[in-house]
Amino acid sequence: MPLRYNWPDAKLLRAYTSGKSCNEIAESGLVVKDQFGRPHSPTVGGIRKRLIALGCEMRSSGVRGPKNKSWKGGRRVVDGYVWLRMPDHHLAQKNGYVAEHRLIAEQVLGRRLKPEEVVHHDDDDKQNNRPTNLVVYPDNATHMRETRKGIKPNWTPEGLARIAAAREQRVARCRAARAERERTQRPPLSAGIRLG
């Protein structure tokens, strides 16, 4: 059975509305008692959850953007790609970042990229976003066909076995369908009489 805590709600609200943060409240030595009367020191997260449950409007827990002391100019590298913070741009993801290579491709082309267009790094360096290194393909199929040309896949023995099994199943299905068509097909009229 989970513990139930008896929170000093009035004291908690008074401390938070007076300007103290959840961290400061936790460090001030606030004590809550469980249903058995044992004292506990609540965590910052526990204090925050209790304030929300009491309907208290929470202050922002941090400063975002250029006002944050850790701000690095809105440039980050994720999975090797460079992303720029541009929350109002049409290519921005939910977090407000735009892939730099797509942004540069749009600027060079002088138009918006279509969602299906793929921007490829010619030298395979995802951070080299110079216009001379970028190639725009109309879709991913064309991108893969052009960039994987002449590269033999390195199949594992298990992968090759799965491919062979799938091929055998496809051949068996085709043979079964052909046999069914031949079985249900009417024989052609050899010397039929036309009725109309």
Torsions phi, psi for 136 (to 5 deg)? -100, 125
Place 195 in a pLDDT band, splitting at 50, 70 and 90.
Answer: low
- Summarised one tens digit per residue, pLDDT across range 1-53 is 677 888 888 888 888 888 888 888 888 888 888 888 899 888 888 888 989 88
Query: pLDDT confidence of 70, banded at 50, 70, 90?
Result: confident
Query: Contact 30/42 with Cβ under 8 angstroms?
Result: yes
Residue 112 pLDDT > 60: yes
> Which of 105, 92, 108 has the alpha carbon at shortest distance from 136?
105
Which has more pLDDT, 122 or 62? 122
Of 190 and 170, the one with more pLDDT: 170
- The interaxial angle of helices 9-17 and 44-53, nearest 10 deg, is 100
Which residues, 6 or more positions from 33, have their beta carbon under 8 angstroms from its beta carbon?
5, 6, 39, 40
- Choice between 172 and 186, residue whose per-residue pLDDT is larger: 172
Place of tokens 């004292």: 39
